[in-house]
């Protein structure tokens, strides 16, 4: 079964400079009613407001509670941060014209969202027919990072090398402790909800392109996939772009956090490419250990302990993030991203993950409503800005 991948001529992925290792980000945002602070449908009208200003860069998602913003590829992390912030603000302006707001969160904190309103269309209808009640909690949002890779064979080799780092990236980006008005007890409930899908979570170790295509073919034949794009592994060759896609992260609270994540992922890809060139051995943690590490990262996040999938040791998650950053440091320095990533990681450890900051807001006056108010501000202004007034009704 041939895997459909576009070329670098794709209008979604035009290189800033030939031969660069470019990176881009897709951010899934939730729409909320500014009066009730509950997640609310309205994506089609919001998209109409955004279409003229950024054609193709603000699009529909599987539910009408969500919109997705998509950056162009960048070589500089600061340029990526600036574009993501601009796109978030564009989506917020479109939402405000419909008397709504946008928030960056792994899951809706408030609202009767089970089941969510599904976006009309043949492909989404086919998904509902195939996956049925799995769509009931589909109002979840991720931050997806794309990085250049030359071909499918190389993408699969890098996927193999990134598998041990996936739970660490997850612990760093957890941002979904609350769902539809209740505390889940997890830092990243989105990962647990998403993990029920037939093809999700950490991918298998792929031995070759043939092995990969055989697996996709069998999954498609079984009915587990609607099409190759529904192979929702946490890292995968992107089905429609000439990139490697890392999809393990919850939607991050701020554009700055998304840029830090993207720069770190690009550096991990670059280091993996060098290791591959040198023929260095590839760690191959078992599926069971990887699954346990993802569960632990989703439960405890950055503030807890995480499982080192190579040694089997339980270590402070912050130490695992520091180890991952040190592993990526040569490439971070090469791309000029070391200051941005190191300061961003230190800030996360010092001030807390998105999940920890949600819990901090919920513990104060206003409870879960205060969480959403903070999200409305952080999404478009960052962490240190004063709370915004509610959008006009």
What is the number of other CB atoms lying within 10 angstroms of the CB of residue 374? 23
Report yes or no on 13 lying in a domain: no
CA 330 to CA 310: how far, in whole Å?
21
Q: What are phi and psi of 26, to 5 degrees?
A: -115, 125
Q: Is residue 390 part of a domain?
A: no
pLDDT of residue 13: 67
Given the DSSP bridges, would you call strands 305-307 and 58-60 parallel, antiparallel or unpaired?
unpaired
Q: Which tokens go with 165? A: 């780092």
- Give the residues across from 59 on adjacent strands: 68
DSSP secondary structure letters along 24-46: EEEEEEEEE-TTT--B---HHHH
**What's the pLDDT at 123?**
82
Residue 12 forms part of a structural domain? no
In whole angstroms, what is the distance from residue 339 CA to residue 138 CA?
A: 36
d(CA 142, CA 297): 16
Residues 147, 3: Cα–Cα separation, whole Å: 18
* Contact (CB, 8 A) for 165 and 261: no
Question: Within a domain: residue 277?
Answer: yes
Please check whether residue 382 lies inside any domain of the structure: no
Q: Which pLDDT score, from 0 to 100, does residue 1 have?
A: 32
CA distance linking residue 182 with residue 108, whole number of Å: 10
Q: Which two tokens stand for residue 273?
A: 């490419």
Cβ count near 115 (within 10 Å)? 14
DSSP strand pairing (243-250 vs 142-148): antiparallel
CATH number at residue 327: 3.30.590.20
| Alpha carbon separation from 376 to 30, 216, 263, 352, 381 (Å, rounded) | 10, 39, 25, 18, 9
Q: Tell whether 7 is covered by a domain.
A: no
In our burial notation (b when 16+ CB lie closer than 10 A, e otherwise), range 303-336 reads bbbbbbbeeeeeebbbebbbebbebbbebbeebe
Return the residue matching tokens 């991948």: 5
| Assigned domain for 330 exists | yes
**Is there a domain that residue 389 lies in?**
no
Distances (CA, A) of 141 to 40, 144, 357, 372: 14, 10, 17, 15
Overall number of domains in the chain: 1
The whole-model pTM stands at 0.93
Kindly calculate the radius of gyration of the chain based on its CA atoms and give it in whole angstroms: 20
145 burial via Cβ count (<10 Å: 0-12, 13-18, 19+): buried
| Nearest residue to 248 via CA among 318, 166, 303 | 166
Range of the domain at 131: 23-376
Ordered mean pLDDT values, 10 residues apiece, the chain (393 residues): 41 68 97 97 96 93 96 96 98 97 98 93 85 90 96 97 98 98 98 93 97 96 90 94 96 98 98 96 96 98 97 97 98 96 96 97 97 97 64 44
- Please tell me the number of Cα atoms within 13 Å of 232 on its side-chain side: 17
Residues facing 305 on adjacent strands: 316
pLDDT for 126 equals 84
Residues 210 and 187: their CA atoms lie apart, in Å, by 37
């Amino acid at each position: 079964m041939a895997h459909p991948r576009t070329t670098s001529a794709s209008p979604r992925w035009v290189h800033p400079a030939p031969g660069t290792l470019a990176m881009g980000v897709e951010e899934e945002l939730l729409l909320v009613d500014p009066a009730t602070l509950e997640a609310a449908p309205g994506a089609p009208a919001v998209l109409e407001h955004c279409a003229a200003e950024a054609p193709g860069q603000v699009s529909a998602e599987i539910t009408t509670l969500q919109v997705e913003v998509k950056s162009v590829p960048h070589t500089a992390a600061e340029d990526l941060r600036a574009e993501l912030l601009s796109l978030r603000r564009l989506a917020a302006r479109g939402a405000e014209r419909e008397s709504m707001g946008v928030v960056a969160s792994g899951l809706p904190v408030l609202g009767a969202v089970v089941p969510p309103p599904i976006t009309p269309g043949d492909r989404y209808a086919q998904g509902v027919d195939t996956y049925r009640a799995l769509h009931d909690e589909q109002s979840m949002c991720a931050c997806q990072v794309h990085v250049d890779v030359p071909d499918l064979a190389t993408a699969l080799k890098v996927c193999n090398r990134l598998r041990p780092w996936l739970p660490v990236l997850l612990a760093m980006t957890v941002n979904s402790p609350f769902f539809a008005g209740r505390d889940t007890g997890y830092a990243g409930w989105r990962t647990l909800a998403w993990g029920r899908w037939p093809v999700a979570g950490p991918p298998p170790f792929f031995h070759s392109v043939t092995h990969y295509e055989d697996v996709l073919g069998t999954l498609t034949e079984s009915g587990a996939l609607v099409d190759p794009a529904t192979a929702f592994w946490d890292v995968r060759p992107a089905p429609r772009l000439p990139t490697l896609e890392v999809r393990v992260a919850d939607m991050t609270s701020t554009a700055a956090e998304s840029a830090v994540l993207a720069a770190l992922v690009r550096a991990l890809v670059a280091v993996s490419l060098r290791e591959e060139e040198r023929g260095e051995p590839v760690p191959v943690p078992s599926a069971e250990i990887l699954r346990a590490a993802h569960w632990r990262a989703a439960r405890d996040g950055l503030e807890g302990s995480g499982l080192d999938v190579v040694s089997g040791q339980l270590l402070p998650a912050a130490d695992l993030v520091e180890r991952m950053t040190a592993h990526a440091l040569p490439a971070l320095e090469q791309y000029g991203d070391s200051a941005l990533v190191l300061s961003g990681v230190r800030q996360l450890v010092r001030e807390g993950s998105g999940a920890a900051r949600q819990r901090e807001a919920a513990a104060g006056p206003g409870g879960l409503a205060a969480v959403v108010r903070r999200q409305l501000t952080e999404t478009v202004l960052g962490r240190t800005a004063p709370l915004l007034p509610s959008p006009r009704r």
